[in-house]
Structure 1
Amino acid sequence: MDSIEIVLAMLLAVVASAYLVRVLPVSLPLPLVQIGLGAAIAGYTGHGVQLDPGLFFLLFLPPLLFLDGWRIPKSGLFRDKGIILELAFGLVVFTVVGAGFLIHWLIPAMPLPVAFALAAIVSPTDPVAVGSIASRAPIPKRLMHILEGESLLNDASGLVCFRFAVAAAMTGTFSLTQASLTFVWLVGGGIAAGVGVTLLVTWAQRWLFRHFGEPSGSPILVNLLIPFGAYLAAEHTHASGILAAVSAGVTMSYVELSGQVMAATRIQRSAVWDTVQFALNGVMFVLLGEQLPDILHGARVSLDQSGHLNPWWLVLYAFSISFGLLALRFIWVWTTLRITLYRKDRRGEAAPRPPLRLLLATSLAGVRGAITLAGVMTLPLALPSGAPFPARDLTIFLASTVILISLVLASVALPRLLAGMEFPEEPAEQLEEDLARREAASAAIAAVERAQMEQLQGGLDADMYPEAAARVIALYQHRLDSTAAIDDEDVARFRKLAAAERVLRLAALQAERRTIFNLARHEHISDEISRKLVREIDLVEARHKH
């Protein structure tokens, strides 16, 4: 099968997976269904796709990480920044050290630097897989935000540890000072590249639109290219392209609060990004399934590298490493929680004790995915001396099986673990939304009154505007006073008032949108609520403009 036909088959598998997951008698998470379809494609063609890790990182990761950074609730990200940083950096280092020694103890034939490399590449979690499983389990919103924030940042820390472990395996030396300095540059340079590229592109785009107008479709295409630009800029300066893509997305969410993008563009762009996200996420897991033939072929070589002849040893290693990672994650989560509670008790703050089931769920939710697969494929084929890289096939096989085991384990155990648990509502979110709706309604009423006066002064259908303004104001007054009643108008009268009402409605919608953006800029409401309300306004405006 030609390359183009394979790509089309993979896209068709992604479409089919969305329907299969609904009709299968057994409830399975979407990633597992996509992996199965990928394996079926590889079985039909007789071989898996030759995965180029560099191309994989460039094509798939920047847009997905950019979108995750853009859409993740910033209020939750900064509110729980301490917990997220502990998981994204502290837990990664703890996992690399703990799992590295565990792997070397289990498989003495695997050199310690290679064991650390395997531990490092299985340390990052996958937000796509977690999100898919979370849709079938009642994970609390706050915990989901923490898991999303962790997965955005631990990719960089895990890959940095992986890079230094591979360098130690290649050269036989390791410098903690050099590693620390490089890590600082990777993080700082990556964040700077993402922020800089996003601000530069959006400034240039606005300047061009202001002087030459806005071509149809151009803003969306530019928006799609920003993550690739940020990623490549960081990689060319030897910084972290992954963090660049994430920081570009976070920056884009703040740029959006300026409100300078047209409503129609926002609606179309959202649909395009939803399609891109669905396609790329799906293709990643289909690709993982298509690697299974090569992985199984490498398992035969792995037997010799492990020093055993019985294939069941490979199964034992895979499950031992998977449960070891789960235990290390639970130990870290439990310990850091105890330290946090102890500090709050010392300060006299009341802190609720989360149930044990929630701690276990946090540990199970650390699902591995695309980053692990792509990263482990970058292992060198040979050492500088020309000798084969030690235990390369074994490392790839174990990393791949850890991905599959973590997916299956989480999809089976997580819904059952959280079943029946009741979590308190997030009252702050509802209060913020109520505040935004009240402020927007008040601003809309003021805008309608201003627009009415402007139209009356212009003498255009002056007799229609007072009544049209009353109708529009009544709609917004209904938000402020739930008991307000809006009188129905007959069809003929409605048509006479439609033109005047349209002008006033558009003025009110623009005022609503400006108010919501202003509330979000000053952090009176979260960006998640801001996006929700602005989308509602955009859809209403699009309806009235057509």
Structure 2
Amino acid sequence: MIPADNILLLLVLAALSSLLTRLLKSRIPLPLIQIVLGICAALVGVRIGLRPDLFMLVFLPPLLFADAFRMPLREFHELRGTIFFLAFGLVLFSTIFCGYAIHWLIPTLALPCCFALAAALSPTDTVAVSSLLAGRHVPERMIHVLSGEALFNDASGLVCFRFAMAAALTGEFSYRQAFDAFLLVAFGGMAIGSVIAYISARLNRFLLRRGYDDPPLQITLMILLPFVTYIVAEAAHCSGILASVAACMVIKMMGMIEETNTATRLQATTVWGMVNYIFNALIFLLLGLQLPDLLHSGIDMAHERQVSLLQLVALVCAVYLIMTGLRFIGIWFSILRRWGVARWTKKPFAWPGFLASLLLTFAGARGAVTLAAVLSLPVAGSALGAFPSRDLLITIAAGVIVVSLIGAGIFMPLCIRFLPASGMDRHAVEETMARQSLLRSAIEKLRDRETHSADLPESTVQDQELKQDVIDRLERSYENRLSQIDESHQASLMDRQRALRRERLELAIRLLVLRAQRQTLHRLFVERAINDQTEWELQKELDFEEQLLRSRVLRLPKDI
């Protein structure tokens, strides 16, 4: 257990990292600032050990669940070939070829140990990549590819790591058995996650129909879901990571979040945003806290093996260059695969630029998942016995993590700066079109006879002239927003009673209009005119507007 004062210290450092990022105007990526803060804390005597099993359980399920929720389903379906090739094919490719390359660099290191190190280094860090790309103009296709890859390559890399570790400890390995076990672990995890998510969605629907729609209950159940799927899948010796990702995908497809009330959705967005930020910050702070001890043990290990520090640094850089080169080759294999499919299906194909492939290459930064994997290697005195050359593997992995983060922090902004302008993204075009459709539906609703005869408060129905005035004013407002013309509206002075009457009429009609806009938004999503990401963002705007209107309703006097 981490002492309470250390937890408070980590939270303070997380807040300080955000402040420093603002002061430095985002010139230094947030993950690097947090790692430096963690190193500084370790140098002044703060010691917080990293338990790999606890790290995997606490941090990965909610973060991957949140990342999967932000992944648009339509784009995931369109890019599934590229995503799965990078997440599974590239991981296997890197594990095998980098394993042999490391064995060539260090002939005294057993081949299974080399494969274990290569497998641990194969997953990219989605948290670091997201932080490095935040606020930068990057083609949305690249964002979707990187996000989708990071959702699955943690699982594939860790599965390969387990097989390599078992081979190093037992001396036995079969490619056929490993491949069969890999399929069982992967598809078993996805099946378990899907089943649990389906049951959860049906149970939640039952609770909603019985009136249990309070935000604390709904948000608590949603936060517990990724942990439950992870624990159940791991207990069944399947991939808990893939179970969490699959659970989120099923939840999105079943519309579990959309069925809750407005207050629940708004509070859930805030809660998940805070969980995502705090957990991301803790990951890099913990990584920084481990680095001084790892560096010290690496230097001691180098002295024991009669290796100079310069040779150790050269070895780390060589491994990083090998992994980067293999990723560059794998990305172009993926591009050639898409070109071949496009020619076979006679569809148009646009070759990506060299800078775009470089950006995807340097986006393969390694992070805390890699460190947690190598730290899980058995130590002397454990039931499995000491893993061969454990200290060397941990030192190399830690060095590659730091070098990859520095390389990504330097070269990714350079690639982005010189990327050719791609024009307006598809998401921006869809969002503009959806906003126009929502405004048109609002105007149509105002012109509808049902709005004029709607059940409004009894005291205001008697005043038809006032009601028509409110409808006309709202209609003009939406027409002005649709045509993007700002016109000032000078309201005449009215007595207090008439002003309150007008406000109540306006709020009632605007709530009716919001309902019509929600129906239009859902129709656009069903017709696949927009994706779920666009729907979710616009749905949040409507939620905020509705929450504001309802708060104004509650503040109105009751004696009108």
- 2:301 is matched with 302
- 2:556 is matched with none
Q: 2 CA distance for matches of 1:132 and 1:456?
A: 49
Q: 2 CA distance for matches of 1:86 and 1:122?
A: 17
Q: 2 CA distance for matches of 1:497 and 1:325?
A: 67
TM-score with structure 2 setting the length: 0.91
Does structure 2 retain, via aligned residues, the 8 Å contact 1:437–1:479?
Answer: no
Paired letter, 2:540: R
Q: Pairwise CA RMSD of aligned residues? A: 2.6
Q: 2 CA distance for matches of 1:240 and 1:346?
A: 35
Moved more, 8-17 or 340-349: 340-349
SS in 2 for 1:454: coil
- 2:554 is matched with none
Give deviations 1:513-532, integer Å, cap 9, x for gaps.
23213322442201111111
Residues 372 and 76 of structure 1: CA distance in aligned 2, closer, same or farther (over 3 Å): same
SS in 1 for 2:238: coil
- 2:557 is matched with none
Q: 1 CA distance for matches of 2:7 and 2:486?
A: 57
Shift of 1:20: 1.1
Give deviations 1:463-498, integer Å, cap 9, x for gaps.
233332333333334455557978543353654311
Q: 2 CA distance for matches of 1:387 and 1:113?
A: 16
Shift of 1:442: 4.2
Correspondence list, 1:60-459, <5 A? 60-135=59-134, 137-256=136-255, 259-303=258-302, 307-345=305-343, 348-382=346-380, 388-426=386-424, 428-445=426-443, 447-448=445-446, 449=448, 450-455=450-455
Q: 1 CA distance for matches of 2:416 and 2:486?
A: 42
Correspondence for 1:535 among 531, 535, 540: 540
Q: 1 CA distance for matches of 2:234 and 2:503?
A: 55
Shift of 1:195: 2.2
Shift of 1:120: 0.4
Give deviations 1:263-300, integer Å, cap 9, x for gaps.
12211111111111110000000000110132123213
Correspondence list, 1:468-483, <5 A? 468-478=470-480
Does structure 2 retain, via aligned residues, the 8 Å contact 1:170–1:383?
Answer: no
Moved more, 476-485 or 395-404: 476-485
- 2:507 is matched with 502
Residues 346 and 434 of structure 1: CA distance in aligned 2, closer, same or farther (over 3 Å): same
Q: 2 CA distance for matches of 1:13 and 1:84?
A: 35
Q: 2 CA distance for matches of 1:535 and 1:456?
A: 26
Moved more, 441-450 or 129-138: 441-450
Does structure 2 retain, via aligned residues, the 8 Å contact 1:88–1:157?
Answer: yes
Moved more, 271-280 or 450-459: 450-459
Say whether residues 1:517 and 2:522 are aligned partners.
Answer: yes
- 1:40 is matched with 40
Moved more, 467-476 or 236-245: 467-476
SS in 2 for 1:173: coil
Shift of 1:82: 1.1
Q: 2 CA distance for matches of 1:352 and 1:485?
A: 44
Paired letter, 1:98: F
Q: 2 CA distance for matches of 1:26 and 1:525?
A: 32
Q: 2 CA distance for matches of 1:160 and 1:386?
A: 18
Shift of 1:52: 1.1
Residues 310 and 8 of structure 1: CA distance in aligned 2, closer, same or farther (over 3 Å): same
Does structure 2 retain, via aligned residues, the 8 Å contact 1:124–1:371?
Answer: yes
Give deviations 1:186-226, integer Å, cap 9, x for gaps.
22222222222223223222322322443352211111111
Does structure 2 retain, via aligned residues, the 8 Å contact 1:117–1:161?
Answer: yes
Does structure 1 retain, via aligned residues, the 8 Å contact 2:201–2:256?
Answer: no
SS in 1 for 2:44: helix
Does structure 2 retain, via aligned residues, the 8 Å contact 1:259–1:514?
Answer: no
Q: 2 CA distance for matches of 1:208 and 1:413?
A: 50
Does structure 1 retain, via aligned residues, the 8 Å contact 2:213–2:261?
Answer: no
> How many residues end up aligned between the 2 structures?
544
Runs of at least 5 residues in structure 2 that lack an aligned partner in the other structure: 552-560
Moved more, 410-419 or 449-458: 449-458
Does structure 2 retain, via aligned residues, the 8 Å contact 1:104–1:115?
Answer: yes
Give deviations 1:330-363, integer Å, cap 9, x for gaps.
1111233234324434655432222212211111
Q: 2 CA distance for matches of 1:111 and 1:441?
A: 66
Q: 2 CA distance for matches of 1:227 and 1:206?
A: 18
Shift of 1:383: 9.3
Moved more, 451-460 or 83-92: 451-460
SS in 2 for 1:45: coil
Paired letter, 1:357: L
Q: 1 CA distance for matches of 2:45 and 2:178?
A: 43
Q: 2 CA distance for matches of 1:503 and 1:301?
A: 73
Moved more, 441-450 or 266-275: 441-450
Paired letter, 1:432: E
- 2:550 is matched with 545
Shift of 1:382: 4.7
Q: 1 CA distance for matches of 2:60 and 2:295?
A: 26
Moved more, 89-98 or 445-454: 445-454
Q: 2 CA distance for matches of 1:456 and 1:545?
A: 15
